[in-house]
Amino acid sequence: MKKVFTLVAAGALTVAGLSAQAQITLDGKVTAAEIATTPTTNKYQLVSTYAGTHSIADRGLKSLYMATSATKLYIAVVGAFLQDNTYPAVVMYLNVPGKTGVPAGTKLAGGAAGDSPLKIKPTMDFEVDYGVRVNFDKTPANGGYFSFADYSGGNVTGGVPDTYQGNVKEGTAGLITATATTGPLLGARVAYTNATGLAANTDNSAIEFEFDLAALGLTANSKVDLFVAYTNDGGVFTTDTFPPIAGQTTALAPDQDFTLIPGKQFLTYQVGAGVLASRSEVANSLRFGVYPNPGSAVAVSYTVPQGKQAVALSVYDATGKQVRSMNEAQTGTQSYKLGSLSAGIYVVKLNIGGEQTSSKIVIE
């Protein structure tokens, strides 16, 4: 896997307090009861949101959630995907431990199945071991078509294996289990609920994936890199990706070279600790700072990029107990005063549109 300098310290304070919660229901929706603001077993964490221009009006991505249980990895892509007379798709590229895959900066050979959007040949800025897709039929009742492309052996002339796994339809009755009997999709399940448009999707309707941790080679504290995109018919990348591309207003190329785009074009999720990122690049992009530090009246400053976005700020003491929290939509430059806190060491965590950073603070 590509090395990433991560915010392990912030996660360490909260992982110790994880406790068993009710299992996530795989039904194609992310309910409020399934979401936690900090990494919690069997609860979704908001990983990223899309607030930019949609190259296809009222269609595309809205938010990305991830979670883990003792044995499963969950990925929920919230949005509105169906289009008239076309076959759009949600695609994901994954990098998992223990596989060599296709190195960062190398053009993918594409999947061998000509009817799958995984036939496209992007160049990613992280190692790719697997591609996953669900194509949505132009007839809503027909649901979506689930397959995966296997890059774990590297590029293959003529295209890598792209194996069909089944037809997912709406709701719990349409929930499917992958047909694979070995490999990374062993026991994987997919559920889906249709949204008529992004504006109408007020209940977090989503395409929801459940992967077996052991099948993917993931254990406690393992990291998985991923990139998620909404594609048009034929596999052409739209504007909508996770992580979002700042300032992108037109559709990308089907064989897009993501190494030419500034910044990091993938997310890193750690089992047990949640979404991770480079401390310096995220802190710099969000202009994140705490001052004075050490001090007695500390304030947190930051800037919300790309218009109004969801902002979550949490403060934890040395035992991992949350002592301050704030969740609201904001724009522009902000300052948040922590108020009176007892003397000691704390961690402040900031999440803006899925971009997360943190800092240790000392209260005198």
- Residues 172-187 have pLDDT tens digits of 889 999 999 999 999 9
For 23-43, how does the pLDDT look when each residue is reduced to its tens digit (9 = 90+)?
899 999 999 999 988 888 999
List, in sequence order, every residue forming a beta bridge with 90; answer none if it has no partner.
134, 230
Provide Rg for the chain, Cα atoms. Answer: 20
Per-residue pLDDT, 321: 82
Of the candidates 299, 297, 300, 329, the one whose C-alpha atom is nearest the C-alpha of residue 312 is 329
Contact 167, 146 (CB under 8 A): yes
Q: If you average pLDDT over residues 114-132, what whole number do you get?
A: 95
Q: If you average pLDDT over residues 83-105, what whole number do you get?
A: 93
pLDDT confidence band for 364 (50 / 70 / 90): confident
pLDDT confidence band for 234 (50 / 70 / 90): confident
Give the pTM.
Answer: 0.73
Per-residue pLDDT, 251: 95
Amino acid (one-letter) located at 52: G
Looking at CATH, the fold of the domain delimited by 279-363 is given as Immunoglobulin-like (2.60.40)
CA 23-27-30 angle, 5° bins: 70
Q: If you average pLDDT over residues 288-312, what whole number do you get?
A: 84
Per-residue pLDDT, 110: 96
Q: If you average pLDDT over residues 224-251, what whole number do you get?
A: 92
- Quick one: tokens of 125? 């800025």
What is the percentage of the chain residues whose pLDDT exceeds 70? Answer: 91
Q: If you average pLDDT over residues 219-234, what whole number do you get?
A: 92
Q: Where in the chain is the domain with CATH 2.60.40.1930?
A: 279-363
Per-residue pLDDT, 233: 84
pLDDT confidence band for 17 (50 / 70 / 90): very low
Amino acid (one-letter) located at 278: S
pLDDT confidence band for 206 (50 / 70 / 90): very high
CA distances from 225 to 7, 18, 154, 241, 264 (A): 15, 23, 17, 14, 11
Q: Which pairs count as long-range contacts for 190-194, CB under 8 Å and 24+ apart, including other chains?
A: 190/134, 190/144, 190/146, 190/166, 191/26, 191/27, 191/28, 192/28, 192/134, 192/143, 192/144, 192/168, 193/27, 193/28, 193/29, 194/81, 194/82, 194/140, 194/170
